Structure 1
Protein backbone atom coordinates (compact mmCIF):
# COMPACT_ATOMS: atom_id res chain seq x y z
CA UNK A 1 0.00 0.00 0.00
CA UNK A 2 1.32 3.44 -0.85
CA UNK A 3 2.33 5.77 1.90
CA UNK A 4 -0.22 8.43 2.67
CA UNK A 5 0.85 12.02 2.82
CA UNK A 6 -0.19 13.60 6.06
CA UNK A 7 -0.46 17.30 5.65
CA UNK A 8 0.16 19.56 8.64
CA UNK A 9 -2.62 21.70 9.98
CA UNK A 10 -2.96 25.17 8.54
CA UNK A 11 -0.61 27.61 10.16
CA UNK A 12 -1.74 31.12 11.13
CA UNK A 13 -0.36 33.90 8.93
CA UNK A 14 2.87 35.58 10.05
CA UNK A 15 2.64 38.70 12.21
CA UNK A 16 1.82 41.82 10.22
CA UNK A 17 0.13 39.86 7.42
CA UNK A 18 -3.42 40.69 8.47
CA UNK A 19 -4.52 44.31 8.99
CA UNK A 20 -4.88 45.55 12.53
CA UNK A 21 -8.12 44.48 14.17
CA UNK A 22 -8.90 41.78 11.60
CA UNK A 23 -8.91 39.07 14.24
CA UNK A 24 -12.30 40.21 15.61
CA UNK A 25 -15.39 41.66 13.87
CA UNK A 26 -15.93 45.42 14.03
CA UNK A 27 -18.25 46.67 16.73
CA UNK A 28 -21.42 48.29 15.38
CA UNK A 29 -23.50 50.86 17.23
CA UNK A 30 -26.58 49.34 18.89
CA UNK A 31 -29.66 49.10 16.67
CA UNK A 32 -27.72 49.02 13.42
CA UNK A 33 -28.20 46.08 11.04
CA UNK A 34 -25.13 43.91 10.55
CA UNK A 35 -25.00 44.78 6.84
CA UNK A 36 -26.87 47.14 4.53
CA UNK A 37 -30.23 46.08 3.13
CA UNK A 38 -30.87 47.13 -0.45
CA UNK A 39 -34.47 47.23 -1.62
CA UNK A 40 -35.88 48.00 -5.03
CA UNK A 41 -37.77 51.31 -4.83
CA UNK A 42 -40.36 50.10 -7.35
CA UNK A 43 -40.49 46.28 -7.21
CA UNK A 44 -41.96 44.36 -10.10
CA UNK A 45 -44.81 42.08 -9.04
CA UNK A 46 -46.42 39.14 -10.79
CA UNK A 47 -49.87 40.63 -11.42
CA UNK A 48 -48.64 43.65 -13.45
CA UNK A 49 -46.35 41.43 -15.52
CA UNK A 50 -49.21 39.07 -16.32
CA UNK A 51 -51.54 41.96 -17.18
CA UNK A 52 -48.90 43.42 -19.51
CA UNK A 53 -48.48 40.02 -21.12
CA UNK A 54 -52.25 39.70 -21.60
CA UNK A 55 -52.56 43.18 -23.10
CA UNK A 56 -49.69 42.54 -25.50
CA UNK A 57 -51.15 39.16 -26.45
CA UNK A 58 -54.44 40.83 -27.37
CA UNK A 59 -52.48 43.51 -29.25
CA UNK A 60 -50.60 40.93 -31.31
CA UNK A 61 -53.75 38.90 -31.95
CA UNK A 62 -55.54 42.00 -33.25
CA UNK A 63 -52.69 42.77 -35.62
CA UNK A 64 -52.41 39.12 -36.65
CA UNK A 65 -56.09 38.97 -37.62
CA UNK A 66 -55.50 41.80 -40.10
CA UNK A 67 -53.19 39.57 -42.14
CA UNK A 68 -54.25 37.46 -45.07
CA UNK A 69 -50.98 35.75 -45.93
CA UNK A 70 -47.48 35.26 -44.52
CA UNK A 71 -46.11 38.49 -46.02
CA UNK A 72 -48.78 40.69 -44.45
CA UNK A 73 -48.68 38.70 -41.20
CA UNK A 74 -44.93 39.25 -40.87
CA UNK A 75 -45.12 42.99 -41.56
CA UNK A 76 -48.13 43.48 -39.26
CA UNK A 77 -46.24 41.62 -36.55
CA UNK A 78 -43.15 43.81 -37.04
CA UNK A 79 -45.36 46.91 -36.75
CA UNK A 80 -47.08 45.51 -33.64
CA UNK A 81 -43.71 44.67 -32.04
CA UNK A 82 -42.21 48.10 -32.71
CA UNK A 83 -45.24 49.89 -31.26
CA UNK A 84 -45.35 47.50 -28.28
CA UNK A 85 -41.68 48.17 -27.54
CA UNK A 86 -42.29 51.92 -27.80
CA UNK A 87 -45.14 51.57 -25.31
CA UNK A 88 -42.91 49.45 -23.05
CA UNK A 89 -40.24 52.18 -23.09
CA UNK A 90 -42.81 54.83 -22.15
CA UNK A 91 -44.20 52.59 -19.41
CA UNK A 92 -40.71 52.02 -18.08
CA UNK A 93 -40.13 55.74 -17.63
CA UNK A 94 -43.60 56.97 -16.73
CA UNK A 95 -45.74 53.99 -15.77
CA UNK A 96 -45.55 50.56 -14.25
CA UNK A 97 -42.33 48.67 -14.97
CA UNK A 98 -44.03 45.34 -14.39
CA UNK A 99 -46.51 45.99 -17.19
CA UNK A 100 -43.65 47.17 -19.40
CA UNK A 101 -41.80 43.92 -18.70
CA UNK A 102 -44.83 41.83 -19.67
CA UNK A 103 -45.37 43.82 -22.86
CA UNK A 104 -41.70 43.49 -23.84
CA UNK A 105 -41.67 39.73 -23.17
CA UNK A 106 -44.69 39.07 -25.38
CA UNK A 107 -43.42 41.48 -28.06
CA UNK A 108 -40.16 39.59 -28.31
CA UNK A 109 -41.91 36.23 -28.31
CA UNK A 110 -44.47 37.32 -30.93
CA UNK A 111 -41.80 38.69 -33.24
CA UNK A 112 -39.75 35.53 -32.80
CA UNK A 113 -42.72 33.36 -33.78
CA UNK A 114 -43.43 35.45 -36.88
CA UNK A 115 -39.79 35.35 -37.95
CA UNK A 116 -39.79 31.59 -37.36
CA UNK A 117 -42.63 31.26 -39.89
CA UNK A 118 -40.74 33.49 -42.32
CA UNK A 119 -37.58 31.43 -41.90
CA UNK A 120 -39.49 28.19 -42.39
CA UNK A 121 -40.99 29.46 -45.66
CA UNK A 122 -37.59 30.74 -46.76
CA UNK A 123 -35.91 27.39 -46.10
CA UNK A 124 -38.75 25.39 -47.68
CA UNK A 125 -39.05 27.44 -50.91
CA UNK A 126 -35.59 29.07 -51.13
CA UNK A 127 -37.39 32.39 -51.68
CA UNK A 128 -37.34 35.26 -49.17
CA UNK A 129 -41.04 35.85 -48.41
CA UNK A 130 -40.84 39.46 -47.19
CA UNK A 131 -40.15 41.19 -50.51
Structure 2
Protein backbone atom coordinates (compact mmCIF):
# COMPACT_ATOMS: atom_id res chain seq x y z
CA UNK A 1 0.00 0.00 0.00
CA UNK A 2 1.45 3.31 -1.01
CA UNK A 3 1.44 6.35 1.24
CA UNK A 4 -0.59 9.29 0.01
CA UNK A 5 1.40 12.30 -1.12
CA UNK A 6 1.32 14.87 1.74
CA UNK A 7 1.72 17.76 -0.65
CA UNK A 8 4.12 20.63 -0.33
CA UNK A 9 5.58 21.60 3.04
CA UNK A 10 3.43 24.38 4.60
CA UNK A 11 6.52 26.26 5.84
CA UNK A 12 7.94 26.40 2.33
CA UNK A 13 4.63 27.62 0.92
CA UNK A 14 4.40 30.35 3.58
CA UNK A 15 7.89 31.59 2.65
CA UNK A 16 7.03 31.66 -1.05
CA UNK A 17 3.85 33.71 -0.66
CA UNK A 18 4.71 37.39 -0.65
CA UNK A 19 2.46 39.50 1.52
CA UNK A 20 2.09 43.22 1.40
CA UNK A 21 2.15 44.65 4.94
CA UNK A 22 -0.94 46.56 5.95
CA UNK A 23 0.95 49.15 7.95
CA UNK A 24 -0.88 48.25 11.15
CA UNK A 25 2.14 46.44 12.54
CA UNK A 26 5.75 47.37 11.84
CA UNK A 27 7.09 45.00 9.23
CA UNK A 28 10.70 46.09 9.03
CA UNK A 29 13.18 48.64 10.14
CA UNK A 30 11.72 52.10 10.70
CA UNK A 31 12.09 54.50 7.83
CA UNK A 32 13.04 57.34 10.21
CA UNK A 33 15.38 57.27 13.19
CA UNK A 34 13.86 56.90 16.63
CA UNK A 35 15.05 59.40 19.21
CA UNK A 36 14.84 58.70 22.92
CA UNK A 37 14.72 61.21 25.75
CA UNK A 38 18.12 61.23 27.51
CA UNK A 39 16.54 62.15 30.85
CA UNK A 40 12.91 60.99 30.80
CA UNK A 41 10.44 62.42 33.30
CA UNK A 42 9.27 59.80 35.80
CA UNK A 43 6.71 59.97 38.56
CA UNK A 44 9.33 59.16 41.18
CA UNK A 45 11.52 62.01 40.02
CA UNK A 46 8.61 64.46 40.15
CA UNK A 47 7.76 63.29 43.69
CA UNK A 48 11.37 63.67 44.86
CA UNK A 49 11.60 67.16 43.36
CA UNK A 50 8.30 68.13 44.95
CA UNK A 51 9.36 66.86 48.37
CA UNK A 52 12.71 68.64 48.15
CA UNK A 53 11.08 71.93 47.11
CA UNK A 54 8.51 71.62 49.90
CA UNK A 55 11.23 71.19 52.49
CA UNK A 56 13.25 74.04 50.94
CA UNK A 57 10.33 76.49 50.98
CA UNK A 58 9.31 75.41 54.46
CA UNK A 59 12.79 76.02 55.85
CA UNK A 60 13.01 79.46 54.26
CA UNK A 61 9.45 80.32 55.28
CA UNK A 62 10.25 79.52 58.90
CA UNK A 63 12.95 82.21 58.82
CA UNK A 64 10.22 84.85 58.53
CA UNK A 65 8.98 86.45 61.72
CA UNK A 66 6.04 88.32 60.19
CA UNK A 67 4.09 88.39 56.92
CA UNK A 68 6.57 90.71 55.21
CA UNK A 69 9.66 88.65 55.99
CA UNK A 70 7.82 85.39 55.26
CA UNK A 71 6.83 86.66 51.81
CA UNK A 72 10.31 87.90 50.93
CA UNK A 73 12.01 84.73 52.19
CA UNK A 74 9.57 82.69 50.10
CA UNK A 75 10.28 84.78 47.00
CA UNK A 76 14.04 84.34 47.51
CA UNK A 77 13.72 80.59 48.13
CA UNK A 78 11.53 80.23 45.04
CA UNK A 79 13.98 82.08 42.84
CA UNK A 80 16.84 79.87 44.04
CA UNK A 81 14.68 76.78 43.52
CA UNK A 82 13.82 77.82 39.97
CA UNK A 83 17.48 78.44 39.13
CA UNK A 84 18.16 74.93 40.39
CA UNK A 85 15.27 73.60 38.28
CA UNK A 86 16.70 75.29 35.19
CA UNK A 87 20.08 73.67 35.82
CA UNK A 88 18.38 70.29 36.33
CA UNK A 89 16.44 70.70 33.09
CA UNK A 90 19.65 71.26 31.16
CA UNK A 91 22.04 68.84 32.87
CA UNK A 92 20.10 66.58 35.22
CA UNK A 93 16.79 64.92 35.88
CA UNK A 94 13.87 66.68 34.23
CA UNK A 95 11.37 64.93 36.47
CA UNK A 96 12.96 66.41 39.59
CA UNK A 97 13.02 69.83 37.91
CA UNK A 98 9.32 69.50 37.13
CA UNK A 99 8.49 68.69 40.76
CA UNK A 100 10.58 71.61 41.98
CA UNK A 101 8.89 74.04 39.58
CA UNK A 102 5.37 72.87 40.41
CA UNK A 103 5.82 73.05 44.17
CA UNK A 104 7.62 76.40 43.94
CA UNK A 105 4.71 77.87 42.00
CA UNK A 106 2.37 76.53 44.67
CA UNK A 107 4.51 78.01 47.43
CA UNK A 108 4.51 81.40 45.74
CA UNK A 109 0.73 81.18 45.43
CA UNK A 110 0.39 80.51 49.15
CA UNK A 111 2.67 83.43 49.98
CA UNK A 112 0.68 85.69 47.65
CA UNK A 113 -2.58 84.59 49.30
CA UNK A 114 -1.15 85.34 52.77
CA UNK A 115 -0.08 88.81 51.62
CA UNK A 116 -3.48 89.53 50.06
CA UNK A 117 -5.36 88.39 53.17
CA UNK A 118 -3.16 90.58 55.37
CA UNK A 119 -3.66 93.49 52.99
CA UNK A 120 -7.44 92.99 52.93
CA UNK A 121 -7.74 92.77 56.72
CA UNK A 122 -5.35 95.61 57.63
CA UNK A 123 -5.82 97.97 54.69
CA UNK A 124 -2.05 98.44 54.49
CA UNK A 125 0.22 96.86 51.87
CA UNK A 126 2.43 94.53 53.94
CA UNK A 127 5.47 94.19 51.65
CA UNK A 128 6.96 97.68 52.11
- Fold match by TM threshold 0.5: yes
Q: Deviations over 1:39-61 (max 9, x none)?
A: 54432101111001111111011
- In structure 1, runs of 5+ residues without a counterpart are 1-24
1: distance between equivalents of 2:27 and 2:99?
43
Higher helix proportion (structure 1 or 2): 2
In structure 1, the partner of 2:5 is: none
In structure 2, the partner of 1:80 is: 77
Aligned-pair CA distance for 1:86: 0.5
In structure 1, the partner of 2:88 is: 91
1: distance between equivalents of 2:67 and 2:40?
40
In structure 2, the partner of 1:46 is: 43
In structure 1, the partner of 2:28 is: 31
**Which structure: larger Rg?**
2
- In structure 2, runs of 5+ residues without a counterpart are 1-21
Q: Structure 2 length normalisation: TM-score? A: 0.72
Q: Deviations over 1:82-103 (max 9, x none)?
A: 0000000011001100000011
Alpha-carbon RMSD = 2.5
In structure 1, the partner of 2:113 is: 116
2: distance between equivalents of 1:66 and 1:130?
16
How many residue pairs get matched?
A: 105
Contact in 1 for aligned 2:88/2:94 (Cα 8 Å): yes
